Structure 1
Amino acid sequence: MAARDDLPAMPLLDRLLYASASFGGNVLSRSRDLWLIYFYAPPPDADIPRRVPVLVLGALLLAARVIEAFDDPLIGWWSDRTRSRWGRRIPFVLFATPFYALFAALLWTPPDPGQSALNAAYLFIVLEAFHLFSTLSGGPFESLLPEIAPRSQDRVSIVTWQVFFGTIGAFVALVVSGIIVDVAGFQAMGVTMAVLAFASRYIGLAGAWRHARRDVEPARIDFLQAVRSTLANSQFRAFLPTFILFNAAISLLTSALPYWAAVVLLGGLKPEIARVESGRELALQLGPLEFGVGVGTAVGLLTGAAIVVVLASLPLVYQLSVRKGKAWVYSRALLYGSLYMPWLAFMGFIPGVDPFLQALLFVAFIGVPMAAVYTFPNAIQADIVDYDYLLTGQRREAIYYATQATLEKIASALYPAVLAVLLSLGASAENPLGIRLVGPVAGLACLLGLVTFRAYRLPDQVTPEAVQGRGLSVERA
């Protein structure tokens, strides 16, 4: 079924329930990203023991990431070919979610209290099990979107709410998780985040349950042919690089924020408003009040400013997408990013303006393109799946979402390498060249994404007539 706005609207409550699952997904992923390396390989002066040597930990995480990337297309292909009384997606979500949450909690319970090979083996096995069940639950869950929301407007509504709930989840992961660690320890934090993710995924499934189609004929295509035909879709090829490049830009900027905070901000505030007490902490003086600020606090304030702008931008992004279309808003976000991000190189150079205030304002408005890049990929992917149906006569949502996830994960291994090269050009208070070049490089990534996206021509309502009107073929292979 193609996206059509002449069909009955999906009830708001069900849209909200389905979208709310992004809360739990972000709670779990962001808290894991924030704390896992620190938990297993803390710095020497930390009050917890080291459990795995840091280089071994890095190798384990890289290997797990590479292996994980190849789970997605196999599971997507399997889901597309499944036949059951609950449809093709629900059985995966229903039965894999408990194990997804269980192994997420077990990440924080290594068997040896000290550093040992046993801990390294335990982490790798549990991490691989977590990734497997995360894909078994999450891939089919995301693939529900095109079939539960055949109307383009409902898709945009759902993905907009997904960004909202996901942002709240990121706040819980980045702020509340630290409080739980301080009060009750890492194990309590891990269990709390796992329970929230478990409950959130099932609540999301409840919103999709009665809308999930049971009458769709399973795809009948072998695995290699499924992957080849997915990559042969011209509109998928036009969209996928933009998604990867845009995420690369945001990831580069996010990864560089601690360096901005430590090198540029903590060393660059004016003496009359800041007193540097050590290499890692300062005290901000606002009138009679004095606030201690470290790298973590500074990064939290910067990311918090961007999150506020993301949330504030969502109503505008939604309204523009309804009036102008998803692709129009997405391409303008790419253009905005390519023009705005290079100016981050001059953050702190404006005379007469406090450098920290400059940083807050500069970083905050990255939230505008972020609102679009986090909102539209799933909805655009749903349109591409509808186009594939016109070409093949088969509903193959899962293989598309899985192929996108695989290529994104492989590409994500390159972001740290690019950042490392930039930082090698200068990452000190005396020579911050590499840090300042992150903004222009991120802007270049957005520009390349914009150029690639020019080949994307699908309308919001993917019908044979509308597609042919854009000059695209609908002849079945």
Structure 2
Amino acid sequence: MGEERDKDNLSQEMKQQEQRLDGKALSFGQKLVYASGNLPAALTIGLIDTWIIYFLSPSESRSGYVSLMAAGVINFLRYLCNAIGDPLVGWWSDRTQSKWGRRRPFIIFGTPFLVLFLVLVWFPPVQGISWANTLLIGFYLIGFGFLYPVVVNPYLSLMPEITPFIKERIKVSELMGYGEVLARIIAVGVAGQVIDYYNAHQRTIYGYSLDGYKVMAIVGAIITVGVYYLMIAKIKETPYDQKKAVPFGIFKAVIEVFRNPPFIPYIGIIASFILCSNILIMVTPFFGKAVMGVSEGTAGILLVILLLVAAIFFPLISYAAGKLGKKQTFTVAMFWFSFFSSLFPLVKLIPGLNPKVFGFLIYFLVAPPVAAVLVLQRPLISDVIDYDEKLTGFRRESMYMGAEGLITKMAWAISFLIAPGLMKLFGNTAEHPWGILLNGPVAAILLLAATFYFWKKYPFQR
């Protein structure tokens, strides 16, 4: 009887939580300023993810600075440090008491160090491959890996606090999505043009030759500092109260996250989507070159098309979530992504199908679900965090961002085993393309299982 009464009480609290549909806590300017913080969050890591392996490792025209294997190991350690740092920063931020709040001190003091390490990774101490480069660049990259959650985790943790209203959270997240799309396009496309220009027109300052990579990093650092400090000046935390006096130790804090019923289906579908989308991103250059028969540069356009089409769908996703609910909209989007991801092998199974037309069409069709993730991920976890307050009596936004970061980084790491493994087993060339094409159905099956679980177990409809 007691357990049934507890379940009834929790169910009633869920219904009350979903009543906060309409309302306004932020002006449009405040929404825009807060959402702009997602641009440097995506830009800093996007610049490194896109260019660092190519910059460091040797090629036909460049001697490089570290071996390809060393570059891979260093970046694996960077993400490992990032994954471990996320829950630690989350726990630390939740327990912080200061006159500036619980989140803002991390952004204020962490941002200068984050951009310093962002710039330093492009300044190897010596020319050519050497242990000095391996050790020092490794230190810079691993340091960046830890400093990234020091800044970004508290930034993301502000969202559930600055507005409690469901539709307003969706609108803020939509604006954040535009920032991320812009950042990814800058990291992939604009940065490449900057690199080409300044590699051909290098400047020397204080004895350092500023090639395109260094200029790219310095500009990225300036953007990051400017945007985050503007955001900090305009966005304030709510006053400190007993709900912010989180008493849990680190292990208790993590356990309580996983005891929150909505968190498991939420993190399951988010981690599965990240794993599956990373699989498809990794095989895109191979798909373009071996299957479509286009250059690497043209293959890169596939990802730009995906991002641009996703941005076009942002308003529709926001509208659908407001009318139908976040759960229904997100579930349909994940089924959509699973279905079209499973179609990759058709390019070889249907005689006469033009691979170039098919390639551009399939990347166009998987874009709307990407829009759903960019728009709805933050509002979904905000609901989960609100419910945690019902269970524990405390506001623990940063711990949830940390736990999410830990699991999603693990999903990212697993994707680096699946895609290369399939290509090694079944081939990644024009003559043997099935290792490329099978990644689509494998991703679809994994995401489909997570989507069914999310639909069945996630409790919030709105």
Cα distance, 1:2 vs structure 2:
5.7
Q: Deviations over 1:380-430 (max 9, x none)?
A: 111001000001110011111101101111221110110122102121212
Q: Secondary structure at the match of 1:82?
A: coil
Counterpart of 1:114 (choices 128, 132, 141) is: 128
Q: Supply the distance in 2 between the matched residues of 1:405 and 1:447 (Cα, whole angstroms).
A: 22
Residues 27 and 172 in structure 1, CA contact (< 8 A), matched pair in contact too: yes
Same amino acid, percent of matched pairs: 28
The two structures have a TM-score, normalised by structure 1, of 0.86
Question: In the TM superposition, what are the counterparts of 1:248-259 in structure 2 within 5 Å?
Answer: 248-259=275-286
Q: Does 1:361 align with 2:361?
A: yes
Letter aligned with residue 31 of structure 1: L
The two structures have a TM-score, normalised by structure 2, of 0.89
Question: Using a 3 Å threshold, how does the CA distance of structure 1 residues 42 and 205 change in structure 2: closer, same or farther?
Answer: farther
Residues 348 and 358 in structure 1, CA contact (< 8 A), matched pair in contact too: no
Q: Does 1:235 align with 2:251?
A: no
Question: Using a 3 Å threshold, how does the CA distance of structure 1 residues 63 and 408 change in structure 2: closer, same or farther?
Answer: same
**Higher mean C-alpha deviation, range 53-62 or range 225-234:** 53-62
Cα distance, 1:294 vs structure 2:
2.2
Structure with higher helix content: 2
Residues 15 and 207 in structure 1, CA contact (< 8 A), matched pair in contact too: no
Question: In the TM superposition, what are the counterparts of 1:290-369 in structure 2 within 5 Å?
Answer: 294-295=295-296, 297-347=297-347, 354-369=354-369
Cα distance, 1:350 vs structure 2:
5.4
Residues 334 and 449 in structure 1, CA contact (< 8 A), matched pair in contact too: no
Counterpart of 2:231 (choices 192, 199, 204) is: 204
Cα distance, 1:330 vs structure 2:
0.8
Counterpart of 1:132 (choices 142, 146, 158) is: 146
Q: Deviations over 1:274-318 (max 9, x none)?
A: xxxxxxxxxxxxxxxxxxx621x2222211221222011111100
Match of 1:378 in 2: 378
Q: Supply the distance in 2 between the matched residues of 1:208 and 1:345 (Cα, whole angstroms).
A: 48
Question: Using a 3 Å threshold, how does the CA distance of structure 1 residues 427 and 6 change in structure 2: closer, same or farther?
Answer: closer
Aligned CA RMSD, in angstroms, stands at: 1.8
Question: Using a 3 Å threshold, how does the CA distance of structure 1 residues 431 and 8 change in structure 2: closer, same or farther?
Answer: closer
Structure 2: 5+ residue stretches without partners = 1-15, 199-211
Letter aligned with residue 445 of structure 1: L
Cα distance, 1:351 vs structure 2:
5.6
Match of 1:457 in 2: 459
Cα distance, 1:167 vs structure 2:
0.4
Letter aligned with residue 370 of structure 2: M
Q: Secondary structure at the match of 2:113?
A: helix
Q: Supply the distance in 2 between the matched residues of 1:8 and 1:317 (Cα, whole angstroms).
A: 20
Residues 81 and 146 in structure 2, CA contact (< 8 A), matched pair in contact too: no
Q: Supply the distance in 2 between the matched residues of 1:207 and 1:326 (Cα, whole angstroms).
A: 28
Match of 2:10 in 1: none
Match of 1:271 in 2: none
Q: Supply the distance in 1 between the matched residues of 2:314 and 2:81 (Cα, whole angstroms).
A: 35
Question: Using a 3 Å threshold, how does the CA distance of structure 1 residues 213 and 127 change in structure 2: closer, same or farther?
Answer: farther
Residues 107 and 127 in structure 1, CA contact (< 8 A), matched pair in contact too: yes
Question: Using a 3 Å threshold, how does the CA distance of structure 1 residues 153 and 206 change in structure 2: closer, same or farther?
Answer: farther
Q: Does 1:11 align with 2:27?
A: yes
| Number of residue equivalences | 430
Counterpart of 1:52 (choices 63, 66, 74) is: 66
Structure 1: 5+ residue stretches without partners = 267-292, 461-477
Residues 81 and 218 in structure 1, CA contact (< 8 A), matched pair in contact too: yes
Question: In the TM superposition, what are the counterparts of 1:254-269 in structure 2 within 5 Å?
Answer: 254-266=281-293
Letter aligned with residue 460 of structure 2: L
Residues 285 and 300 in structure 2, CA contact (< 8 A), matched pair in contact too: no
Match of 1:41 in 2: 57
